[in-house]
């Protein structure tokens, strides 16, 4: 018998209201019948919406709560307002209580990370959680982290992100020894910040223990797919993510303009319609929507707040795969396979804890 994957949804998170969350869940359910949902939000709003999706209703439960975290609220304000009472917090609490296997939210990223860190707590030995993105490349999809959870990062945090990223790559891509690269301004060992160079030394010493360290990688390696996991701190990672998404939309706009410029262009586009449809899908950021919060005692997926039901379906798909592949168990296994002798003579998980 196939195990049912239970997904907890902050139905009120996002820019476009709860209809997007429910519609996205329905689209995901059509592909994966062994899925059930717990939707968190005002029952007066969600109940009539759920009635509009009769296929979704039999596998869904509504948990009533009236407090909604706004997209522009600061994390500290969100915690004071919604800890224990909001749709965002309750979606996370369902995972902590074992009611659900994974939580999904399109809400305020800072508030979600703050609540998730307090509610689910970081895994022992991980200094800070990270947000990982599934990144399409010329070779195949890869993992890139951190894309926005932590601004700045020392060598220890970059090593932790490497552990988390390799665990995710094993869970997603079934690769026993994922290749790891540190994002830098050059591939030479003398380049970059001290934290990156120090992390490189640690990873090089541990290469082979469940992963293969490739070395430093540059910005163009993000598109090439040079390695399975690219590690950086959240400031650079978030800029890279938004730049890639914006570039995809820019190129798509150029193509549409070029293919409708004159009669011959339109005729050529008609003959190439199948190839163009495939290209359009590959360049659509919605198809890879869903950042994975890594390093917590529970799985949390962050959807883009402004996405539509197709993008939300992608986030639910990621949530399903993370739960099905037992990601938390794989992270624990990855930590046990990471016996790093750092320059200081300690292992990566025997160093002094950094504040979360």
| pLDDT tens column, 120-145 | 998 887 878 899 988 888 888 899 99
- Residue 219: CB atoms within 10 A of its CB come to 14
Question: 62 Cβ partners below 8 Å, 6+ apart?
Answer: 38, 39, 40, 41, 43, 46, 47, 50
- Residues 14 and 20 sit within 8 Å (Cβ to Cβ): yes
- Please give the pLDDT value at position 195: 93
What pLDDT is stored for residue 341 in this prediction?
A: 41
The CA-atom distances, in angstroms, between 30 and each of 1, 55, 325 are 18, 9, 20
Q: What gap in Å lies between CA 165 and CA 229, rounded to an integer?
A: 6
Structure tokens at 17: 């209201």
pLDDT at residue 129, as a whole number: 87
Determine the distance from the C-alpha atom of residue 44 to the mean position of all C-alpha atoms in its chain, rounded to a whole number: 31
pLDDT computed for residue 313 by the predictor: 94
* Per-residue confidence (pLDDT) for residue 354, from 0 to 100: 36
Q: What is the pLDDT of residue 353?
A: 37
- What pLDDT sits at residue 282? 63
Q: What is the pTM of this model?
A: 0.82
d(Cα 111, Cα 91) in Å, to the nearest integer? 13
What domains lie within the chain, and their CATH numbers? Answer: 5-127+289-332 (3.40.718.10), 130-284 (3.40.718.10)
pLDDT value of residue 163: 87
Beta strand segments in the chain, E: 5-10, 35-41, 60-64, 102-105, 130-135, 142-145, 179-183, 212-217, 229-231, 291-294, 299-302
Cβ within 8 Å of residue 328, ≥6 positions away:
123, 297, 298, 299
Q: What confidence score (pLDDT) does residue 350 get?
A: 38
Residues of the chain with pLDDT under 70: 1-2, 275-286, 337-356
Task: Give residue-wise pLDDT tens across range 318-328.
Answer: 999 889 888 88
pLDDT of residue 351: 35
């Amino acid at each position: 018998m196939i195990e049912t994957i239970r997904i907890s949804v902050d139905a009120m998170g996002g820019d476009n209201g709860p209809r997007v969350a429910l519609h996205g869940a329905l689209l995901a359910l059509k592909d994966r019948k062994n899925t059930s949902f717990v939707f968190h939000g005002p029952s007066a709003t969600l109940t009539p919406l759920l009635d509009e999706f009769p296929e979704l209703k039999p596998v869904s439960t509504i948990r009533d709560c009236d407090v909604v975290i706004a997209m522009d609220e600061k994390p500290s304000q969100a915690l004071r307002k919604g800890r224990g009472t909001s749709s965002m917090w309750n979606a996370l609490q369902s995972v902590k209580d074992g009611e659900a296997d994974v939580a999904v939210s399109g809400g305020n990223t800072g508030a979600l990370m703050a609540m998730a860190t307090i509610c689910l707590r970081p895994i022992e030995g991980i200094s800070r959680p990270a947000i990982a993105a599934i990144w399409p490349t010329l070779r195949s999809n890869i993992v890139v982290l951190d894309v926005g959870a932590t601004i700045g990062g020392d060598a220890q945090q970059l090593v932790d992100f490497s552990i988390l990223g390799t665990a995710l790559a094993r869970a997603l891509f079934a690769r026993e020894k994922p290749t790891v690269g540190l994002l830098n301004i050059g591939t030479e060992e003398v380049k970059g910040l001290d934290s990156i160079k120090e992390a490189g030394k640690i990873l090089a010493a541990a290469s082979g223990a469940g992963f293969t360290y490739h070395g430093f990688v540059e910005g163009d390696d993000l598109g090439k797919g040079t390695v399975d996991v690219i590690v950086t701190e959240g400031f650079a990672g978030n800029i890279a993510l938004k730049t890639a998404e914006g570039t995809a939309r820019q190129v798509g706009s150029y193509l549409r303009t070029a293919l409708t410029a004159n009669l011959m262009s339109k005729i050529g586009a008609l003959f190439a319609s199948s190839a163009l449809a495939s290209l359009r899908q590959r360049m659509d950021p919605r198809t890879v929507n869903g950042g994975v919060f890594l390093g917590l005692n529970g799985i949390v997926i962050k959807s883009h707040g402004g996405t539509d039901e197709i993008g939300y379906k992608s986030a639910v798909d990621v949530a399903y795969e993370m739960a099905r592949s037992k990601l938390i168990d794989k992270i624990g296994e990855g930590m046990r396979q990471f016996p790093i002798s750092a320059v200081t003579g300690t292992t990566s998980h025997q160093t002094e804890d950094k504040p979360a």
